[in-house]
Amino acid sequence: MIGPDEIADGLSDDVLASVEIMVTAGSTFDPDLVAKLPALKLVACFSTGIEAIDCDLLERRGIQLTTAAGVNAHDVADQAFALMLAQWHSVLQADALVRDGGWQQGFLQGLAPRPSLKGKRAGIVGLGRIGSEVATRAAAHAMDVRWWGPREKPDAPYERVGSLGALAEWADVLFLACAASAQNAGMINRSVLDALGPRGIMINFTRGMLVDESALRSALMSGQLGGAGLDVFLEEPTDAALWKDVPNCVLSPHIAGFTQEAGEDMFGQLRENVRRCISGEELLTPYFT
């Protein structure tokens, strides 16, 4: 076992030549290091997202990759809904109102009535494991569900819209559940946010790099976008000053997949993949199939 400190200190070519398994997060990947590991057989990633991992490079060299895909899809979808409902129902404002003594007698209570969620439109970008869990929850909340992704899914029980722009135009709530890959960087740009519009809200709980965050903040501040729920950011931790005057958004510190159970499952699956690689068995969760 070689730890991050030893890697940082530099390792002899002999040691590097003996490395067969690399354990990593999907957000950090050093191709120069991989180039120095001629015996590498497996990159065992303990996260679901693999945005920094050069999959082409691994495939070319016949190096296998395992991820935590699917382990915490339920948890991530639950966080998406926690943020969405908090924004839609003004949970933070309501709690502050009651605690600050601002609740007035009468029918208006100091908050404007919200629109009913029933019949509103949930647009899901990416109908993979997480997107499907989001869809199940949206349907149970009596929302109308459509989705977009680059590939048709003939078995999908929801209608696929022709483009991301068309989905944003249609949706009241846009959920970003797509892969955090390099080609998706910045896909939620100003024109997508404009299509979602002043009554729409965007929920991001996969990777910050999917969104033009500066355009997002401008759209929230101008009212051009109705609201947002964000568990992920372009840089993490995000600079609190960036969000100081940004209204109509609920923020959380990248905790969507971070449950007690998911932690155990992710590391259990990682250990099992490493064990199987060492003993020459078939991997539990191979990425390349």
Tell me whether residue 137 is one of the annotated catalytic residues: no
Q: Output 37 or 232, the one with its CB closest to a second copy.
A: 232
Q: Output 58 or 81, the one with its CB closest to a second copy.
A: 81
Tell me whether residue 236 is one of the annotated catalytic residues: yes
Q: Output 37 or 135, the one with its CB closest to a second copy.
A: 135
Q: Output 82 or 180, the one with its CB closest to a second copy.
A: 82
Catalytic residue among 121, 129, 160, 254: 254
Q: What does DSSP assign to residue 136?
A: H
Please, which contacts does 142-151 make with residues 24 or more away whose CB atoms are closer than 8 Å?
Answer: 142/117, 142/118, 143/117, 143/118, 143/119, 143/172, 143/173, 144/119, 144/120, 145/121, 146/121, 146/122, 146/170, 146/171, 147/123, 148/123, 148/124, 149/125, 149/178
Least separation in angstroms between CB 79 and a second copy: 6
Tell me whether residue 207 is one of the annotated catalytic residues: yes
Catalytic residue among 236, 261, 264, 281: 236
Q: Return all residues near 74 (Cβ < 8 A) that are at least 6 apart.
A: 133
Q: Which residues here bind a second copy, judged by CB under 8 A?
A: 72, 74-75, 78-79, 81-83, 85-86, 88-89, 91-92, 94-95, 97-101, 103-105, 109-111, 113-118, 136-137, 139-142, 236-241, 243-244, 250-255, 258-263
Judge whether 256 and 83 are in contact, CB under 8 Å.
Answer: no
Least separation in angstroms between CB 138 and a second copy: 9
**Can you tell me the distance from the alpha carbon of 232 to that of 106, in angstroms, rounded to the nearest whole number?**
39
User: Which residues are designated catalytic?
Assistant: 207, 236, 254
